[in-house]
Amino acid sequence: MKGIPMLDLYAEYLYMKDDIDNAIKKCLEHQKWILGPEVVEFERKLSKYFEVRNCIGVSSGTDALLLAIRALAIKKKGDEFWNTDDLVITTPFTFTATGDTIIRAGAMPLFVDIDPSTYNIDSKKIIRAIEEYRDKVVGIVPVHLYGLPCNMDEIMEIAKKFNVFVVEDTAQAFGSKWSNKKVGTIGDIGALSFFPSKNLGSFGDAGAVITNDDEISELVRMLRVHGGRDKYNVDYLGYKARLDTIQAAILLVKLKYIDEFNEKRRKIVQIYNESLKNIEEIVLPSIVDGHVYHQYTIRILDGRRDALKKHLSEKGIDSMVYYPLPLQKMKVFEGRSKIFEELKESEKASREVLSIPIEPLMKEEEVCKVIEAIKEFFK
Ligand SMILES: Cc1ncc(COP(=O)(O)O)c(C=O)c1O
């Protein structure tokens, strides 16, 4: 049997090949590469999928976060950028972009530790952090890590009480739900990524901003194209951060399959959960309704995470550590961020987590091969 990759994007392409080939061919024929008809159509379909008033296609998940946080500075503060006295609470156990976009929007990240059972930011610690820093906190950027929804009831209650914004980093959680509401639609703004490996992935970089706030939507649309309603008469320091027509065309096809694919992920999870539950040295992902399992991430308790990774690799099975370094340990955040209390859980998680293959089109025999290899290691 061939090796088992984390994902098999070529198999996914073959699954919908005719549709994708036709969609690309249409673009070749109309040649409307910049904000072409597919972008408009994708924004419309995505608004419908999320049941939100506005969707703006942008060039990546990183840009979705950046434009969202910049638009909030303009709306809430009347300034183009936040400043370093403005603190934005987020998790350190995430991809760099969650933290660096806060800095690039002018503000300072305030890292608050995670709940070890979900790997998401700990709401109780958010409250304590806001109480300590009081008026300085202007917003919260929760991340639905691995596709597991954050407790948005608690986060929105805190945001309301302290009058701070919420930008949901929904990069890893397309279609994930909290209390039957799709994540990304609960806070002021949702930032989506269509990086190729995401649950809904394009064939390059792409992202989107979703919001029910029309003023924010208008500002994000401006920031996406240099910062003006008219690109020859500009108001704000903007970006060139449009969603490509060809990516929108591909995403329109893949959107039709996303719920089916998320369901396929859940079926694989059932097999993993059932087969791995008796291994004492590992902790399985928490079972939470609405989870879309962007990653299936286990925790290895006996200190042998890297040895397990090596063992799997020798068997031809890929695995990944998301993330080996929490953000507070990176040079880029030195002197540009604050830390609330200790971030022990994030540090511990970064030493113990391992994500194993979860490709929606994985065959059962491949899932079993991964399971056998893990069982053999702990025998
Ligand atoms: C949690 C998180 N936030 C933000 C991003 C940034 O998205 P992109 O790679 O599309 O810029 C990613 C993914 O790469 C991510 O996983």
pLDDT band at 260, cuts 50/70/90? very high
Bridge pairing between strands 338-339 and 54-58? unpaired
The answer to whether residues 202 and 247 touch, using CB atoms and an 8 Å cutoff, is yes
The answer to whether residues 176 and 186 touch, using CB atoms and an 8 Å cutoff, is no
The answer to whether residues 304 and 319 touch, using CB atoms and an 8 Å cutoff, is no
The mean pLDDT of 214-232, rounded to a whole number, is: 96
Query: How remote is the CA of residue 93 from the centroid of ligand 1, in Å?
Result: 13
In order of start, what are the domains of the chain with their CATH numbers? 9-255 (3.40.640.10), 258-378 (3.90.1150.10)
Query: How remote is the CA of residue 375 from the centroid of ligand 1, in Å?
Result: 32
As a whole number of angstroms, the distance between CA 101 and CA 105 comes to 6
DSSP letter for 182, please.
E
Which of 245, 271, 289 has the alpha carbon at shortest distance from 362? 271
pTM for the full predicted model: 0.98
The mean pLDDT of 157-162, rounded to a whole number, is: 98
Q: What is the largest CA-CA distance in the chain?
A: 68
Query: How remote is the CA of residue 326 from the centroid of ligand 1, in Å?
Result: 15
| Residue with CA nearest ligand 1 atom 7 | 61
Q: Which two tokens stand for residue 202?
A: 């394009």
Residue 207 dihedral angles phi and psi, to the nearest 5°:
-165, 180
Which of 95, 169, 197, 355 is the pocket-test mutation for ligand 1 (most atoms within 8 Å of CB)?
95
> Which helix (H) or strand (E) is 54 found in, with range?
strand 54-58
> Using one digit for the tens of pLDDT, what is the confidence trace for 166-214?
999 999 999 999 999 999 999 999 999 999 999 999 999 999 999 999 9
> Using one digit for the tens of pLDDT, what is the confidence trace for 86-120?
999 999 999 999 999 999 999 999 999 999 999 99
The mean pLDDT of 364-370, rounded to a whole number, is: 97
Q: Which two tokens stand for residue 121?
A: 């930011």
Ligand 1 binding residues, C-beta < 6 A: 60-62, 94-95, 97-98, 143, 169, 171-172, 193, 195, 205, 207
Residue 8 dihedral angles phi and psi, to the nearest 5°:
-125, 85
| Residue with CA nearest ligand 1 atom 13 | 171
> Hey, which residues does 87 pair with through a beta bridge?
108, 137
- Determine the atom of ligand 1 nearest the C-alpha atom of 63: 11
As a whole number of angstroms, the distance between CA 169 and CA 174 comes to 10
What pLDDT is stored for residue 2 in this prediction? 75
Share of the chain above pLDDT 70, in %: 100
What pLDDT is stored for residue 231 in this prediction? 84
Q: Is the pLDDT of residue 134 over 90?
A: no
The answer to whether residues 299 and 351 touch, using CB atoms and an 8 Å cutoff, is no
What pLDDT is stored for residue 1 in this prediction? 54
Which of 253, 145, 151, 121 has the alpha carbon at shortest distance from 193? 145
- Determine the atom of ligand 1 nearest the C-alpha atom of 172: 16
Query: How remote is the CA of residue 62 from the centroid of ligand 1, in Å?
Result: 6
Which of 268, 356, 343 has the alpha carbon at shortest distance from 313? 356
> Which helix (H) or strand (E) is 43 found in, with range?
helix 37-50
The mean predicted confidence, pLDDT, of the chain is 97
The mean pLDDT of 34-38, rounded to a whole number, is: 98
> Using one digit for the tens of pLDDT, what is the confidence trace for 46-88?
999 999 999 999 999 999 999 999 999 999 999 999 999 999 9
As a whole number of angstroms, the distance between CA 1 and CA 301 comes to 30
